[in-house]
Structure formats: C-alpha cells, structure tokens
Structure 1
Amino acid sequence: MISSSPRDKLPQLARSTPQALLDSLARHPRRIMAGVGVLLLGTGVTAFGIAPLAPDASLLPVHEVVEALPMRPLADLGVGTVPLTLFRSDTVRRDDTAQSLLQRLDVRDPAAVALLQNDPQARQLFEGRTGKLVTVETNDQQALQRLSARWLPDDGRVFQRLVVENGPEGFKVRQESGELTAQIRLASGVIHSSLFAATDAANLPDSVAVQLAEVFASDIDFRRDLRQGDRFSVVYETLDADGETMRAGRVLSAEFVNNGRAHEAVWFEEPGQKGAFYGFNGESSRKSFLGSPLEFSRVSSGYGMRFHPISGKQKAHLGIDYAAPTGTPVRTIGDGVVTFAGVQRGYGNVVEITHRDNQSTLFAHLSRIDVRTGQKVSQGDFVGAVGSTGASTGPHLHFEFRIKGVHQDPLEIARQSENIPINQAFRARFEAVAQQQRLSLNAAATLQQASAE
C-alpha cells in the first residue's frame, strides 16, 4: 500500500468538485491544513533561495573618469568650408519699417535696410495691404542673401512676387506676377453653440464660414433655427502661391443638416454666366433675391414693432438693421435699376433700387455711395458701404423691401422668392460636376465621424 502525503493530495483536491473539497475538509481538517502550511513554507524557502545575494547597486562606490579626447579642427572635416544658409519667414505688420521687419527676421545688414527704405520697388512691402508673406535667406553672419515676398493686389487669382537678391554686383530687385494655384480642402463640424464657434473649431477660414452661411441663408435662419447637434460638411478651395496659402477661395459644395433636415448645394458656372449654387438634383438654390444685403452679419433690429433708439417710443420698424463696421460693403439682393442715390433726411446717404414687378429695396445710413441714378445693377453688385449718416446711433445698415410701395419683411421675401433654374443645355455638364462634388462632400463628412470616434 502506497501512502501519500497531504502535499500530494492537494492537486487531487484542486481538481475535485467544490462539494468534494468541503467533504474532505470536514473529514481531514488537520491533514489539509498541514499540507497548506508545507506548501507555504516551501514557497517561502524558494523565494528566499532565489533572492539576490549581490550588494545593492545604490550602495556601490561610484568613480568618475574624465579623459581628454583629441578633436580635429572643423576645417579639416570640411565643415568650415560649407556655406551656412538660414531661412526665416514672417508677415509684414501694419506699423513695420524696413528696420523692424529685418530685425524680427534676424537680419543684421545695414545695406539691406537701406535698400528696403530707398528702392521704389522694395518699398512696396510696406504699402497697401498688410500681411505680406516674407521669406529671407541669410548667411552665418546674418547678412541678407535673398528676400522674397508675396501678396495679393486684389481679390483676383493673380499674386505679386518681390525678389531681392544679393550677388557679386550687390543687391538686385525685381517684381513678378504669378497665377494662384487652387487646392481643394475638406472640413466638417457640429454646432454646439453658434455657427462661427463651430467653423472655428473646424479650422475653417472666416471667408469660407461666411460663404457657408450665405449658401443656406434663404433656408436657415442662423439666428433662430440653429440646434445643438446640427452639422455641416464643406468642400472649398484655397489659392496658393509658391506652395503658400494666400487666401481661401470659393465654396464648391456644402451640406448643412438643421434640425434633422439636410440642405445641400453645389457650385456650378454656366459658360458666359455668373456661377450659382444648385441642389444635387439639379434644382437651383439661387433665388431671385439674396437673403441679406451684407455678407453674413448680425441683425441688430428686426422687422416689426420696437422701441425707437432715438425717440425712445414704441414704433413700427419697417425694415431690418444689420450691425456691421463702417466701410463694410453693401450689395444689392437682386437685379434692378438704381432709382435714387443721394441724401434723404434722417436716412443719411441712401440708395434705392427698383426691381421687377413693382418691387424695390432701400439702403440707408451709408458711409459712401458707389452707384449712380439710372445705373443697372446685378444681384450681388456692391452699391455702397455701411456707415452712420443721418439719424443713427452707430454704424449699421438700415434695409427695406417694398412691393408697390408697401413695406414687407425682407427675410420673408427672400425665403419666398423663386428659384432661378439651370439652363437645360448644360445639364450633362452639371451632372458631371455634381457627381465629383458628391464624392468630395462624402469624404468631408467622414472627417467629423473619424474625429468623433
């Protein structure tokens, strides 16, 4: 008969059922507890046996060895014979001078300062618009070797390039023109508080955010209709010069989901005509009247009864006031003819335009007037600029819409105005553009989904 020790019985107990373990514990309590004790003791001995017997490394003495190594001159290695060129970039600021700009670019070159101050072409860096992109190349003595600057003379697709180069015969300056290169960009976002907060979070340029609002202004009241969770996707272009983005271009397609309803638009230009936005089904989203005479702006006073800011009395407000800085361009919301351009009592500088079907619009408190009586204007043409002339408490645009001389709510008129249809002769071309933009817009929509995940 072969007997087994309590230690040998433990694996058998471990493989048995819970009830068998309880029964064995009840019958042999001492044997089992002794076996457990032997196991624990053996484990402890084993642990003690493999514990490190070497001394603690932190208690060992530390010796520092310092040894001088021979160094070959850099010239022997060929390093000193290679010219060192440093590159730096910045933008021209409003109060910049030749000295302040070059100092910020870490250029220490009196001759270069004198050139930028005195050369007629070089002085253009500090004239006109600020924000010109400037890149300099200097040697290891911080002397200017080359300067190049790029800027946009207007809102077209051409940029100006100024180049200053230092050669054996001294500095040479030349100015060139170049074509901007269009690049496609995708973006998407979700509304949490406001449209512009969401577009900022999506890193959309302000001009693209404005266009996005304008595209859907006739369908969505961005003051009252926005909901948390509304989302947008947009495909737009940027205009680049020498690989640097100079400005954002046009929105090419967009989708805005407001309160569960999707609004879509794609840009299409008929040959010889002004471009417009259309739905992907080919229905025009261009209406006979724009939703606003300003590129997306805050409505400071709506249509209807209000307390007059000057008289302080309750009075009907027969138009809409748009808060905007002085000088903000004002545009006509539809095609028509200028029937008045001058001064009208409390309205200050005024432009009035007559449209078809006895409809007319009026723009008041303008800082300047850019049209003349009898001039034909097309939808989107600029007619003046925001000001505070006449009886006004601050810069804003007062805008009115009338039908047969009777005032109407301009926002309602814009929403109800008819769509301008696409020419069927260009339908096939439109379908090709729409198909490509649909793919790009779908890709833009996945950006927000990927970000959320």
Structure 2
Amino acid sequence: MFPKTHLTIAAGATVLVAATVLMSPSSNVEAKRMSYALDLEQGSVSAPAKGPASADEQNSGEVKTDTASSSAPTSGEKGQTEATVAAAPSEPALDWQAFEIKSGDTLSSLFKAAGFNDGIMLSVIHGEGDADKLQRLYAGETIRFASDDQGKLAAVELQRNRLKSLKVSRTDDGFKGQILTREPEARPMFASGVIDDSLYASARAAGLNDKLTMELTDIFGWDVDFVYDVRKGDRFEVVYQDLYLDGKKLGTGKILSARFINRGDERLALLYTDDAGNSDYFTPDGKSMRKAILRTPIDARVSSPFNLQRRHPVLGVVRPHEGTDYAAAPGTPIKAAGSGRVISAGRKGGYGRAVVLQHGDGITTLYAHMSRIARGMKAGSRVKQGQTIGYVGSSGLATGPHLHYEYRVNGRPVNSRTVKLPDAKPVPSSEMAQFRKVADQRLAQFNVFEGREQQLAMAEEE
C-alpha cells in the first residue's frame, strides 16, 4: 500500500502526461505544415517546397521536440509566443531613397546625397560580381539606396531602363552586384497597306512606326530599290511584335513575317533563328533574303549613274563612268558591300582616297573620293558586310563630296544597280527540318491574320 499522498501525485502525473500526448501533433499533422516567406520589398508571399523527413523520423514515426518545448506552456506564455511569431517578418524592412540622375551628377555626390561617404561607395564598387558597373552612370537613369533599421547601407539599385537594372546587395562577405533583366511579353500584330504616295506614308497610315518600316525596307531592299522601283498600288503585309511590360506597351519588337508585292512580283520573308542564335530572314523554301553583296553601300541619292559614254565633269572629255556616284554629306559612313579581303587602301590617282575589296566569284568593289579611310583598313585585312570602311569626301578628281562606287566581275565594270547579285547562304541542310517547322508556324500565323483582315474588309463593304 502506498501512502495516499503518493497516489495523488501519481494520478496527477498520469493526467499531465496524457494531456501532453493529446495536445502534441502527430507525425502526419507535422508533415503537412508549410512555412510562407513574405517578401516585403516585392509585396509577395511564396510557399517554399517542404523538405522530406529524415530517415530516422520516417522509420520511427517519432516527433522530435527540443527541451524547451517538452513542457506545456501556460496560456499566457502560449499567447505571447504566437504573437511574437506572427509579428516577426522574414526580412527586415528597408528604407529606400531614390534619385534621378542628372547631367553632372557623380557616384560620389549621389552617395553623399543618400547619407553615405566615399568609403562606403568604394566598398560597394569594389564588391563581387557586377558591382563595378555601378560606376557607369547616364543622365535619366534612377538610382536607389536601401538602409536597414540601423542606418547601414543594405543595397544600391541602378535602374538603367524598364528592362534592365543593376542591384548591389550587402552580403556576409561585403557587397555583390548582379544585373537583372526583365523579358517583355511579345504579342503578334498585323498591319497591311497599299502604297499610294510613298512607302513611309502608307506604312504610317497602316500603324507601322519608322523602326518597323526601316526593318521592312532592309528585308526586301536586296531585291527592291525603294527609291526607284516602288510604284503606286504596291502592297505590303507584316506580322510583327508589340512588346508589353506590366500590362503597358513598351514598344515594338521584330518583324516575324512579311510580304511585299512590287509590280505584281510577290516576295515573302520569314524570320528564323539558327542553332547558333543567329536570326535572319528566309524565303519559305529556305533561301536567304539577303544577298552576298549590298545593292548600295551608302544611304544616299544617285548623283551620276553608271554610263560608259559619260563626259567627265572635270576633264571635259568623254570618259566611261564605270561606277555609280552617290551624293552625301562629308563624313557619311561608307559600308562594305560584302564580306571579303582588302586589296588596297590609300591614295589611288584620280580616285583620291579609295578602298578596293575582293569578294568571292571574281567580284571586286571600289569605294573612292573618301575624306578618310576607316581604321584597320590595309591590304590583306578581312571585312564583314556592312562594316564601315571609310567616310564620304571629295579627294581626288571630284567636284564635291560623294562616293564613287564600282562593281566589277573578273575585272569588267558592271552596273551595280542592275546586276543580278549573288545570293547569301541558305539554311544549312542540317537545320532544314527545324526550319520547316518554324516556317509552317510562321505561314499559319500569317494566313490567320490575313484571313481576319479579309473578313473585316468584307464586313466594311457590306
């Protein structure tokens, strides 16, 4: 027989243990718990994936608790603990200051305006990653400084534009910079028009901006001279991208597909990006829209055409004009008509300062009367199509600033404005299957837009 006091204590302990077991969550309940991370800066709540239980826990089914939680808290302690957990943020709140960068501002002056000295600034720009890029500032950008609750610098954010920013954050080891890029949402759009006066006027009336119109002329400019060949009644149809960010229009992207009908001759171009990430326009059967040689190496008007019976304006005698002259302002860049090798670069008699390039298939091009020749142009050096090789001038026998451009095949002068230009490389056979898939998608999209346009036109006529 135990004393009555002992029995009373034992009964009380039994009740306490039973209550503790009933109040403790089972292993099944514990496995369904999920903690949420609250991002105060972004204003978002995220639920991280729950990690699996350890092997010992899975095998034993026991719920491990620490010593402090082994005894049941009082009602007052429990309420206080819950209130503390609910009030504790996952990240400390930061105080942000923003400044719009103006002409004359320096990184040092901006740091001082935010309340930080040059020592802090040097610690930031000497940080890891892209931190040093913070030194390149441009007027119109926005820079923000974040301070923690102790007034220490926690982060610096430089907003380059709506898509790109640089953020330098404090870490345990100092500061670390990272470039952040946002991708806009691309929405396909369609525009079409009939040329009445000029392509630019008709394109604008159809809703195309100048950027897209220039891109359209670049795509078809290899076959169509948009200064001399375009006629009233020519038509164009374009599928292009509108870019949106946060639901607001940001601008326009690339042309995805386009059709141009010039004097009844139809041309269709489709955008394709190869395995190396290079994008270009091709016909539906994989031929490049580009040519190996540019029709014109400069954006300017023709001042004197190719004419083998022309009277020379300086010498006053009949002398064949074996090239085409383009009048342009002094200093206008001159582009290499095609990729190739420099044969000569320097003074060349009446041509003045001139560059001669060797291309494939016996083709050579000459660029004369330059004010100066671009750096790196010397015999034997390689050039790429579109690369600047010199600048318009009036050196040599010239009455004014212009480019004299010659196109020769096996040494024989040919009219560069009418010669059939060699094609650029088509889609390689190794990528033809992939290209056909993309081309089918582009054509299907084009046909859907075109069908809708026709339905709208029919509805308006009714």
TM-score when normalising by structure 1: 0.57
Structure 1 CA distance for aligned equivalents of residues 352 and 244 of structure 2: 42
Paired letter, 2:404: H
Deviation at 1:361, TM superposition (A): 0.7
- Given the alignment, which residue of 434, 444, 447 partners 2:439? 434
Deviation at 1:256, TM superposition (A): 0.5
* Amino acid aligned to 1:355: H
Counterpart in the other structure of 1:6: none
Could you tell me which runs of 5 or more consecutive residues in structure 1 were left unpaired when the two chains were aligned: 1-84, 100-109, 138-145, 153-158, 166-171
Does residue 374 of the first structure (1) align with residue 351 of the second (2)?
no
In the alignment, is the contact (CA less than 8 A) between 2:157 and 2:168 conserved in 1? yes
Trace 1:317-328 onto structure 2 (pairs within 5 A): 317-324=321-328
Q: Which amino acid aligns with 1:382?
A: Q
2:428 aligned to which of 419, 423, 447: 423
Task: Indicate the residue corresponding to 2:283 in structure 1.
Answer: 279
Please state how far the C-alpha of 1:318 moved relative to its aligned partner: 2.1
Deviations along 1:71-114, whole A, 9 cap, x unmatched?
xxxxxxxxxxxxxx9x999xx99xx5559xxxxxxxxxx947x9
Deviations along 1:44-96, whole A, 9 cap, x unmatched? xxxxxxxxxxxxxxxxxxxxxxxxxxxxxxxxxxxxxxxxx9x999xx99xx5
Map residues 230-309 of structure 1 onto 2, 5 A cutoff: 230-237=234-241, 249-272=253-276, 275-294=279-298, 297-304=300-307
The answer as to 2:228 corresponding to 1:224 is yes
Identity of aligned residues (%): 30
CA distance in structure 2 between the partners assigned to 1:435 and 1:279 by the alignment: 12
Name the CA distance, whole Å, in 1 between partners of 2:332 and 2:188: 27
Secondary structure at the counterpart of residue 228 of structure 1: coil
Q: Is the Cα–Cα contact under 8 Å of residues 367 and 389 in structure 1 kept in the other structure?
A: no
Structure with the greater alpha carbon radius of gyration: 1
Structure 2 equivalent of residue 195 of structure 1:
199
C-alpha distance 277-405 of structure 1, shift in aligned 2 (>3 A): same
DSSP-derived class of the 1:265 partner = strand
Residues 436, 255 of structure 1: alpha-carbon distance in 2 compared, 3 angstrom cutoff = same
Out of 406, 413, 416, the position equivalent to 1:407 is 413
The number of equivalent residue pairs is 335
Counterpart-to-counterpart distance in 2, 1:315 and 1:336:
29
- Kindly report the root-mean-square deviation, in angstroms, between the aligned alpha carbons of the 2 structures: 5.0
Verify the 8 A CA contact 1:189 1:198 in the aligned structure 2.
Answer: no
Pair 334,363 (structure 1): closer, same or farther in 2 beyond 3 Å: same
For residues 312 and 412 of structure 1, the distance between their equivalents in structure 2, rounded to whole angstroms, comes to 27
Q: Distance in 2 between matches of 1:241 and 1:371?
A: 43
Residue 309 to residue 433, structure 1, CA distance change in 2 (3 Å): farther
* C-alpha deviation, 1:148, in angstroms: 5.7
Q: Which position in structure 2 is the counterpart of 1:150?
A: 160
Match of 2:347 in 1: 343
Deviation per residue, 1:19-58 (Å, 9 max, x gap) = xxxxxxxxxxxxxxxxxxxxxxxxxxxxxxxxxxxxxxxx
**Quick one: which amino acid aligns to residue 263 of structure 1?**
R
Distance 2:178 2:352 in 1: 44
Structure of higher RCO (CA pairs closer than 8 Å, 6+ residues apart)? 1
TM-score for both structures, normalised by structure 2: 0.56
Counterpart of 2:32?
A: none
Q: Is the contact between residue 293 and residue 421 of structure 2 (CA under 8 Å) also seen in structure 1?
A: no
Could you tell me which of 206, 213, 219 is aligned with 1:209? 213
Q: Residue type of the partner of 2:406?
A: E
CA distance in 1 between counterparts of 2:257 and 2:222 reads 16
**Alpha-carbon spacing, 1:387–1:181, altered in 2? closer, same or farther (3 Å):** farther
Change (3 A) 1:393 1:362: same
Contact 1:338-1:371 at 8 Å conserved across structures:
yes
Q: 1:384 aligns with which of 347, 366, 389?
A: 389
Does the 8 Å contact 1:187/1:202 carry over to 2?
A: no
Match of 1:72 in 2: none
Which residue is equivalent to 1:397? 403
Contact 1:188 / 1:445 at 8 angstroms: preserved in 2?
no
Please, which runs of 5 or more residues in structure 2 have no aligned partner? 1-95, 107-111, 126-132, 146-155, 170-174
